[in-house]
Amino acid sequence: MSTTKTINLKNRPKGKPELSDFDFTTSEVPELKDGEILLKTTYVSVDPYLRGRMSDAESYIEPFELNEPIVSGCVAEVLESKSSNFSSGDFVTGMLEWKEKQVVNAENFRKVDPDQAPLSAYLGILGMTGLTAYFGLTDIGKPKEGETLLVSGAAGAVGTVVGQIGKILGMHVVGIAGTDEKIEMIKSEFGYDEGINYKTTENMAQAIAKACPDGVDVYYDNVGGEISEAVLFNINKFSRTVVCGAISVYNNTELPKSTSVQPFLIKKSSSMQGFVIFDYKDRHPEGIEQLADWLQKGKLHYEETIQEGFDNIPQAFLDLFEGKNKGKMLVKI
């Protein structure tokens, strides 16, 4: 019988997560039963939302249990199969425990084709973050040609895709990110018209006004906090804010003192709507089809930051909070 390493949640992080919040154990891989497949993990997606599952506060998804494996989106190779749907050598995607190898019920996995797209793409542009960008912008942002789209977290997995979709739809697109290199990247590789480095800008409200001379019609918010407060001073009449993520406050230990959004929304008849990508579960195939079509036609590009090695998964996760990724952060095993 073979063994596998597993990464468990050791402590519920207080503030910023640390390596000591995770631990590694080794266990035996069980024998396969009918309907099961034995998987070897190939790529692991690390995502900001996992921070929420490490806390036991009530949320839209169950918290991780202490001393149990972390789970995230992964691509894996089928080593053995007792399912008629899969053969050894196939690649699948789905939610997997952070293990090198594991036996799972085949029903919960979808085959992916390495000849259609690189395997890593099924965790980014053709996976959860691509779909989040697509449905958040098109369904909640209700974008119109000629409008101004402002995106925070613009150089990340979701943000790079949102900006490109905005350009496909004929918008003026402005991005906010944390380094000059990222600003250069979103403009030269992803078609953003303007960019603002929030770490070197003293007055964000003024900088947004300058980059968005006609005001902001759609704000795609990946970060929340002070950046999003500055956006409020620039929203247009009937503007829409897509509340996708709030990474700037995920590690807060106290409720922040924040600006009241209501007067801004009232004055501008503006709306703000949160969402989780699971809300669109039934429409995922439609989203994948559109994203794959744009990819194939060369209208969409994607960037990845790929770290290597099973033992480096926790560090790759921590690096998201330091902005060390461009595009989708993944770990190749």
Residues that bind ligand NAP in the complex, under the rule CB under 6 A: 47-49, 129, 132, 153, 155-159, 177-179, 182, 222-223, 244-248, 275-277, 320-321, 323, 325, 329
Rounded least distance, CB 245 to ligand NAP, Å: 2
* Comparison of 191 and 274: residue with beta carbon closer to ligand NAP: 274
Rounded least distance, CB 175 to ligand NAP, Å: 9
Rounded least distance, CB 167 to ligand NAP, Å: 18
* Comparison of 60 and 238: residue with beta carbon closer to ligand NAP: 60
Rounded least distance, CB 264 to ligand NAP, Å: 20
Rounded least distance, CB 97 to ligand NAP, Å: 20
* Comparison of 2 and 188: residue with beta carbon closer to ligand NAP: 188
Rounded least distance, CB 279 to ligand NAP, Å: 8
Rounded least distance, CB 50 to ligand NAP, Å: 9
Q: What is the 3-state secondary structure (H, E, C) of the chain?
A: CCEEEEEEECCCCCCCCCHHHEEEEEEECCCCCCCEEEEEEEEEECCCCHHHHCCCCCCCCCCCCCCCECEEEEEEEEEEECCCCCCCCCEEEEEEECECEEEEEHHHCEEECCCCCCHHHHHCCCCHHHHHHHHHHHHHCCCCCCCEEEEECCCEHHHHHHHHHHHHCCCEEEEEECCHHHHHHHHHCCCCCEEEECCCCCCHHHHHHHHCCCCEEEEEECCCHHHHHHHHCCEEEEEEEEECCCHHHCCCCCCCCCCCCHHHHHHCCCEEEECCHHHHHHHHHHHHHHHHHHHHCCCCCCCEEEEECHHHHHHHHHHHCCCCCCEEEEEEC
* Comparison of 101 and 240: residue with beta carbon closer to ligand NAP: 240
* Comparison of 86 and 134: residue with beta carbon closer to ligand NAP: 134
**CA dist., res. 127 & res. 296, Å (int):** 15
* Comparison of 11 and 197: residue with beta carbon closer to ligand NAP: 197
* Comparison of 238 and 278: residue with beta carbon closer to ligand NAP: 278
* Comparison of 268 and 324: residue with beta carbon closer to ligand NAP: 324
Q: What is the CA radius of gyration of the chain?
A: 20
